[in-house]
Amino acid sequence: MAKESEIIFYRTDDGNIKIEVFFQDETFWMTQKKISELFGVQRPAIT
DSSP letters, 5-45, are EEEEEEE-TTS--EEEEEEETTEEE--HHHHHHHHTS-GGG
Is 0.95 topped by the overall pTM?
A: no
List, for residues 10-39, the tens digit of each pLDDT value.
Answer: 777 887 767 778 888 888 888 898 888 888
Number of domains in the chain: 1
DSSP 5: E
| Domain span holding position 16 | 5-45
List, for residues 32-47, the tens digit of each pLDDT value.
Answer: 988 888 888 999 998 8
**What is the pLDDT confidence band of residue 2, given thresholds at 50, 70 and 90?**
low
Residues 6+ apart with CB under 8 A from 9: 18, 19, 20, 21
